[in-house]
Amino acid sequence: MGIQHVMVLPFPAQGHVNPLMSFSKRLAQHGFKVTFVNTDFIHKRVVSATNEEVNLQESPVKLISVPDGLGPQHDRNDLASLVLAILRTMPSAIENLIRDMNGGSDKITAIVADLNMAWAMDVADKLGLKAAVFCPSSAAVFALQNDIPKLIQDGVLDNTGFPIIKGEFQLSPAMPIMNSADIPWCCIGDTTVQKTIYDYIAKFMDYVHLTDWWLCNTTSELEHGALSLSPKILPVGPVLMESRNEFRSVGQFWEEDLSCLKWLDQQPPSSVIYIAFGSFTIFDSIQLKELALGLDLTNKPFLWVVREDASGSTKITYPDEFRGTRGKIVKWAPQQKVLGHPAIACFVSHCGWNSTMEGVANGVPFLCWPYFADQLFDKAYICDVWKVGLGFDTDDKGVISRWEIKKKVDQLFGDQNMRRRSQKLKEMVVRNMAAGGKSYENLTKFVEWLRK
């Protein structure tokens, strides 16, 4: 048999495209041909954000796209509309694409789909292809979604996915305590949006059982409890973006500002606060002002990633009294390289799972500022389980004040034990990915199955 050809299908969001792209590169390194299928909208963004020196034609991962079912005028951050359109149009689009490709000599032999695109397991089943799901978030979130029928049976959720009981519950004694208000689909938009997202999750979780390969971007030590609860989940993480220059930008939605690396070279070791809130977080003007003035108050060098759309539809305006003289502000950063830089002291993060894995893999302690969905639960891991970060407290208006920011920065900079724990966690995670490590062995097992 010739080279196996794998189709990889991410959910159309930055926090999903990144880890699936990293995983695709892993497969390419193992000798597989990989076709990476974005939606048309995301494909255009990825191509336009790719650095000029990156030759996409020579990349081991071929990028193609299909429509997402939404018109050019639609807002892709409206997750409810997006998932409804995906379900309506993409399964048949992917099936037709594979049938067309398999009419020639370059046949697709397997599909690896984002957990959030697990309906693709049905397409693979129909076409007689090998298939696996890849979960870009924590095993805890995967286990929670897999346990939905049990949570309904136990009276934690009603039949529409909303919590019956308010307050704390535990999936298993080996897992962190969860708050029913922090269930991922209950933290997105209004109740109509939440219901749509829940229905989508419940639907794709039905399809997950069409494959025996449940891959997850985590490690066995980081999430022992969740993996014990759902032993079918196979940890193969953390899958991190390659540091080699030629692949640097492929998969990003914004062009990386590489000038920040030179700026970091000029800063003392363990001195810089790195602030980045992922691709979705939106700040109102009051909170943006407090964050800016809080950074001034710390009197420490900072690298702050501020997306052009970080204030929603309004233009970002910094407060008049913001000096910002000790910092550098960029629109998007090569995060993996930034976190690996010796100048970085801590990471003010929205606690998305990719950022969490990248921070942990580089031994950087966190200041946690979750925004929505699974980020609230990721924060519980960081602060309460691994003890490598601190959370912020809000004031009576729900705002994180400049004084609170300064207080927590000072506290973290003075905590050598937390720095030591972060380094230990890094060593453990890096061991997992090295030859002989658990994640390495699991990935090898999967690769061998794909090759058969």
Residue 244 confidence (pLDDT) = 42
Q: DSSP readout, 242-256?
A: --SGGGTTTT-SS--
What pLDDT does residue 245 have? Answer: 45
What is the edge-to-edge ordering of all strands in the sheet holding 366-368?
327-330, 302-305, 272-276, 344-349, 366-368, 389-391
Q: What is the C-alpha to C-alpha distance for residues 423 and 415, in angstroms, rounded to an integer?
A: 13
3-state class of 71 per DSSP? coil
Q: Which amino acid is present at 256?
A: E
> Over its length of 452 residues, how does the chain's per-residue pLDDT go in tens digits?
568 999 999 999 989 999 999 999 999 999 999 999 999 999 999 998 886 655 566 677 999 999 999 999 999 989 999 999 999 999 999 999 999 999 988 899 999 999 999 999 999 999 999 999 999 999 999 999 999 999 999 999 999 999 998 899 889 888 888 889 889 999 888 999 999 999 999 999 999 999 999 999 999 999 999 999 999 999 999 998 554 444 455 777 778 999 999 999 999 999 999 999 988 788 899 999 999 999 999 999 999 999 888 777 678 889 999 999 999 999 999 999 999 999 999 999 999 999 999 999 999 999 999 998 889 889 999 999 999 999 999 999 999 999 999 999 999 999 999 999 999 999 999 999 899 999 999 999 999 999 98
Q: How far is CA 84 from CA 32, 93, 196, 200, in A?
A: 32, 15, 8, 8
Assigned CATH topology for domain 5-242+433-451: Rossmann fold (3.40.50)
Residue whose C-alpha is closest to residue 368's, from 398, 353, 390: 390
Residue 392 CB coordination number (10 Å): 17
Which pLDDT score is estimated for 177? Answer: 86
Helix spans in 158-238 (H): 191-208, 224-229
Residues found in the chain = 452
pLDDT for position 246:
40
Indicate the angle between helix axes 14-29 and 353-361, nearest 10 degrees.
Answer: 50
Looking at the DSSP bridge assignments, the partners of residue 6 are 34, 110
Which residue ranges does the chain devote to CATH 3.40.50.2000? 5-242+433-451, 256-414
Residues 6+ apart with CB under 8 A from 244: none
H/E segment holding residue 358: helix 353-361
In angstroms, what CA-CA distances link 15 with 12, 53, 135, 276? 9, 24, 11, 13
CATH class of 256-414: alpha beta
Phi/psi of residue 327, each to 5°?
Answer: -120, 175
Reading the block at residue 382, the tokens are: 């960081």
Within 8 A by CB and 6+ apart from 141, the residues are 135, 184, 353, 374, 377
What is the pLDDT, as a whole number, of residue 2?
A: 67
pTM score, two decimals? 0.94
Q: From 429, 437, 448, select the one nearest 361 (Cα to Cα).
A: 429
User: Are residues 86 and 59 in contact, defined by beta-carbon separation less than 8 angstroms?
Assistant: no
Q: What's the chain's Rg over C-alpha atoms?
A: 21
Task: Report DSSP letters for 73-135, one per residue.
Answer: TS-TT-HHHHHHHHHHHHHHHHHHHHHHHTTSSS---EEEEEGGGTTHHHHHHHHT-EEEEEE
DSSP, res 239: -
Range 189-226 burial, b when 16+ CB lie within 10 A, else e: eeeebbbbbbbbbbebbebbebbebbbbbbbbbbbebb
The number of beta carbons lying within 10 Å of the beta carbon of residue 167 is 10
Would you tell me the crossing angle of helices 416-433 and 353-361 to the nearest 10 degrees? 100
Q: Give the tokens for residue 210.
A: 């069409």
CB 301 within 8 A of CB 272: yes
- Please answer whether residues 372 and 280 qualify as being in contact, where contact means their C-beta atoms are separated by less than 8 angstroms: yes
